Amino acid sequence: MRFRIGSLIIALAFSVLGLLAGCGSGAANSGSGTADSDIGTVNSDSETASNGNGAVNSDSGTANSGSGAANSGIGDSDEAGFAQDAVTQNEVDSSPEAAEATGETDRSGMDFNVDLSSIKTGSVNAVVSVHDPSIYKDNGYYIFGSHMTAAKSENLRTWEWVADGYVSDNKIYGGLYDAAEDAFRYAGRKTSHMPTDDGETHVWAPDVIYDKEMGKYLMYVSLSSTWNASEIAMLQCDTIDGKYEYVAPIVYSGVANADDIASTDIGGFVEPKEAEARYTVSGEYCFEKYPNAIDPTVFYDEDDRLWMVYGSWSGGIYLLELDPKTGLAIHPGSSVSESGVDAYYGKKLMGGGHKSIEGPYILYDEEAKAYYLFVSYGSLTAHGGYQIRVFKSDTVDGEYTDMNGKHPELEDQDHSPFGLKLSGNYRLPSLETAYMATGHNSAFIDDDGKRYVVYHTRFESKDEYHSPRAKQYFLNKEGWPCLLPYATNGETISENGYDTDEVVGRYYYINQGTSIDDEVAEPSIIYLTEDGKAVTEDGEGAWSMEPGSCYMSIQIGDAEYSGVFCKQVDEAGTPVMAFTAAGNNESVWGVKY
């Protein structure tokens, strides 16, 4: 912030008049950068083939993003100056006396230099490498992931392998090989009707649920051949960690002609000639309008109806109801008249035009009386801008909207402004390297009411290696998720709040912004003062804490964020005070040592 002192002429005039000081005031301007992102059309599936050690064989599309900075700051201000001899226009009087006279905070003892070298570093050793982890709790925490992987944990931090790799004796997924002729008939292998584009087997992004009526654990898994020719299949098992047996297909995508349609069950719900006219164009699948049948998530709504949300890039995110007696799809059929509902694919929730959106996960929160739809934007590679967004709705079938009451549509060329961005690329104190491409999450509410997001992350210094992470999140006063900065380590928020002296002080602060690119959100310094000011190197805002609770709010420039304070330990095990808050689809984090 520049303090503009009155010109020498005015100073001399005031001196002649015997005045001690001249006063000139100006307006505090807030300028923020723009987050412009243009995602190029990608003719490849968004998933990558990796094995259990995290190596990646990728024919995924690259998100071509032109991005700006998502910054929120306070601009120049004109403040009171004292008449002095030979003073220049750009000199700054930062003395305590000047601060007191102008109403500004005394910055003489503040250090805005970001130096992380003195902070102990560490890392969460997850042990396993599970891509697209889908969480389910049943006598422990299980995650099921792409490439026939699964792992178990007792603490959501350290995991042990349960299954890993494309082998016929895979403890969890071996049933696919037992029924390979049926299971991979349409897609997922080089011998399928739709052969895989690399000649390999593709089994991606599974999700597991216990069907209360069937008394079975059901797995819904993606069998994919190309970037839009895929199938979601259902498997079942009597135990959470046993061999799942193939049952039936749920939904197909990627049909390009009558022969492809005849290889699916589409004709049972849409007359074949009508299906060809609707789902194909110029001998290709109408992928910009209709979904890629991968990335399923299955869940119960508040009335115990069973649903599956799915989709990746292509025509966006879709919702299908399932029959809880069989686990199979209830396709709307040709009699459907509701706008936005397809007779075969179900209801479209958002997206389309082959822009990046995938990994949908819907969670009903009974306390909030709301449904939360998590998705991932960007390309999943380390520098692809992969990130987690969230929308919410009062009803299971939408509409799902963000903090601004909107969601991405097919015609939206730039979808970066839509959805609350929970996590992207970032660097924090104690991390050995920046975390990159945090995405494809699942979520759950534990028995004690704690809420968690589980996802995979890549790293700035480790190429395409990836590792699962679990973080606790809270709902702010407005009901929006606020993700804690560090991996969960048993922290419990204080429902009665914290003393002022516990929360005031110097914080390492980051803003996740809304861009879709490989830029890393780097920490800056912000001071929360006892008199309610939020002081950055560039200006001042304000903060407040609701008495007797953990809720807080912070205003920086023109931006306002609502969230919570919570004590955590960082990844080196050092105790910190943290805040996490959301506003205008941005997430901000602060960490104080």
| Residues assigned a catalytic role | 132, 358
Q: CB under 8 Å to 409, separation ≥6 — which residues?
A: 350, 351, 352
Phi, psi of 466, deg, nearest 5: -135, 160
Lookup: tokens for 146? 């792409």
The Cα angle at residue 132 between residues 129 and 137, in degrees rounded to 5: 90
Give the number of other Cβ atoms within 10 Å of residue 430's Cβ.
22
Residue 528 CA to residue 105 CA, distance in Å, equals 11
Cβ distance 144 to 207 under 8 Å?
Answer: yes
At 368, the amino acid letter reads: A
Region of residue 354 (left: phi > 0; alpha: psi -120 to 50; beta: else): left
Lookup: tokens for 122? 């560490």
Which is it for strands 21-22 and 81-82: parallel, antiparallel or unpaired? antiparallel
DSSP letter (8 states) at residue 6: P
DSSP letter (8 states) at residue 268: G
> HSE (CB half, 13 Å, CA atoms) of 452?
29
Residue 318 CA to residue 232 CA, distance in Å, equals 13
Residue 528 CA to residue 526 CA, distance in Å, equals 7
DSSP letter (8 states) at residue 194: B
Cβ distance 423 to 455 under 8 Å?
Answer: yes
